[in-house]
Structure 1
Amino acid sequence: MAGHSKFKNIMHRKGAQDKKRSNLFSKLSREITVAAKMGLPDPDMNPRLRLAVNAAKAQSMPKDNIQRAIDKASAAGGEDYEEVRYEGYGPGGSAIIVEALTDNRNRTATNVRNAFAKNGGNMGASGSVAHGFERLGMIEYPAGVGDEDKVLEAAIEAGADDVESGEEGHTIWTQMEALHEVAKGLEAVLGEAETVKLAWKPNLTVSLDEKDAATLLKMIDMLDDDDDVQTVWGNYEIADEVMEKLG
């Protein structure tokens, strides 16, 4: 069950360096509004909303902003967002999945396609790369929460499937249907997690050289700067020494 993750580059996470806070808050607000609209506006009664609110709190989003995003779900004439997923290939044969919340499919599709095309990639049809990933629950804790043995024991007790521990922290994987239950079990032992969300975990990964890695990161930054794009996932690995060269 235990595993080690040398690379932390499979997902280009929100809130990473150089990320504009206002842009991040906008994306978090959109997810909260959509989650509240799809169920009850009470995080205790709406698992997806609870995840969205926890993600916002983890990024120090003010409580007033969170409440406004929840209130927008029931406001008359509010935006009507839909979930869309785009798939394609990036530099070095990397497979990329882009998740978005949009009120204009044409706009979002055009922007995502341009991001692929301008950075050596090619957007494919739905399902073109998703078959190479598993849809799983992902829970992340910082390294300071405890050593590998402590986290592993807590994960086993909570019913998780796998644990990856490294210098930067711990990533716990579980079946998507069990995410909320496992997260609750871990919280009782380890405290509140940094991240609790559904993820696309690649079955196989590809290693990128410096040139391909630089181009791919430009593409991901371009995607991440789009207001409609929520998350970007990939099956790439970038060695530590390459990341250091890229700065």
Structure 2
Amino acid sequence: MGRIFETRKATMFARWNKMAKVFTRISKDIAIAVKAGGPNPDSNAALRRAMQNARAANMPKDKVEGAIKRASGHEAESYDVVLYEGYGPHGIAVLVETATNNVVRTVANVRMHFNKHGGSLGTTGSVAFQFKRMGVFRLNPEGVDQEALELDLIDHGLEEMGESTGEKGEKQLVIRCAFNDFGHLQAAIEARGLTVLSADSEYVAQNHLELPEEQANEVLKLVDSLEQDEDVQRVFYNLG
């Protein structure tokens, strides 16, 4: 086990609406989970995961319950999850995961963000081969025997485990598995009563491209612009 490498986050840019954006993203995750598996988190692992992320983001309980109730209604909003691929400045590969009720609007907006920041929207398959879809869990490492946990979780799909830091510099234990093993590993982590900070599927870059600081900042401006779009859920990229 070593330190998990994670690409640079665009934390240098002020996001006045960051908290509202996080709550919107989680609300959509809840809506998608409820639509697919029902409103009971005990029998819906995706909903349980979204609620876990809501707690980690300090999303008020009434907002979480409201999102579940709305998603359970007959007139609930339906979202399509669409993945867009493109290149940012200086050849950086970018994947944009969206949840949208209007694909025409979303693709136009995503293309606009790429064009505005020196990138280009690509075709399906042009970028995705450079990433691997994985289940990613971030845990509070306090009190965790990491070597014992690593050995224990290998039988439940663990592929990578290592230390990292959050946006505020806090220590995290990052655990990754193949996406198909997400449910198995989630159940194993829950059974051990570990403190989960977040749990998501992510597209992990298989190779990273290093850039000088000035060029890297140009890429991060694109990432920041995309992340603030109302239809964008997550952005992945191979900037080292």
- The answer, yes or no, to whether TM exceeds 0.5 is yes
Q: What range is the shorter-chain TM-score in?
A: 0.7 to 0.9
Which runs of structure 2 are paired with 1:59-138 in the superposition (5 Å)?
59-138=57-136
CA shift, 1:113, in A, is 0.8
Amino acid at match of 2:192: V
What TM-score, normalized to structure 2? 0.87
* C-alpha separation in 1, matches of 2:15 and 2:193: 26
CA shift, 1:18, in A, is 5.5
Is the alpha carbon distance of 1:10 and 1:179 closer, same or farther for their aligned partners in structure 2, counting shifts above 3 Å? farther
Which runs of structure 2 are paired with 1:2-81 in the superposition (5 Å)?
2-5=1-4, 7-9=5-7, 20-81=18-79
Amino acid at match of 2:203: W
Aligned match for 1:219, one of 215, 219, 222: 222
Residue aligning to 1:177: 180
Farther off after superposition, 180-189 or 210-219:
180-189
Contact 1:134 / 1:202 at 8 angstroms: preserved in 2? yes
Deviations 1:44-101 (A, max 9, x none): 1112111111111110111111111111123233322111110111122111100011
Deviations 1:85-134 (A, max 9, x none): 10111122111100011111111111111111111111101111111111
* C-alpha separation in 1, matches of 2:99 and 2:224: 17
**SS of equivalent residue, structure 1 residue 206:** coil
Is the alpha carbon distance of 1:36 and 1:12 closer, same or farther for their aligned partners in structure 2, counting shifts above 3 Å? farther
* C-alpha separation in 1, matches of 2:26 and 2:9: 17
Gaps of 5+ in 1: 238-247
Contact 2:137 / 2:174 at 8 angstroms: preserved in 1? yes
**SS of equivalent residue, structure 2 residue 118:** coil
Aligned match for 1:201, one of 184, 189, 204: 204
Is the alpha carbon distance of 1:166 and 1:75 closer, same or farther for their aligned partners in structure 2, counting shifts above 3 Å? closer
What TM-score, normalized to structure 1? 0.85
* C-alpha separation in 1, matches of 2:81 and 2:219: 24
CA shift, 1:157, in A, is 5.5
Contact 2:157 / 2:178 at 8 angstroms: preserved in 1? no
Contact 1:98 / 1:231 at 8 angstroms: preserved in 2? yes
* C-alpha separation in 2, matches of 1:120 and 1:147: 46
Deviations 1:177-234 (A, max 9, x none): 2212212222343613111111111111111211221111111111111111000011
* C-alpha separation in 2, matches of 1:221 and 1:61: 22
Q: CA RMSD in A?
A: 2.3
Is the alpha carbon distance of 1:207 and 1:19 closer, same or farther for their aligned partners in structure 2, counting shifts above 3 Å? farther
* C-alpha separation in 2, matches of 1:156 and 1:199: 19
Contact 2:88 / 2:119 at 8 angstroms: preserved in 1? yes
Residue aligning to 1:164: 162
Contact 2:140 / 2:195 at 8 angstroms: preserved in 1? no
Which runs of structure 2 are paired with 1:143-158 in the superposition (5 Å)?
143-146=141-144, 148-156=146-154, 158=156
Give the count of matched residue pairs: 233
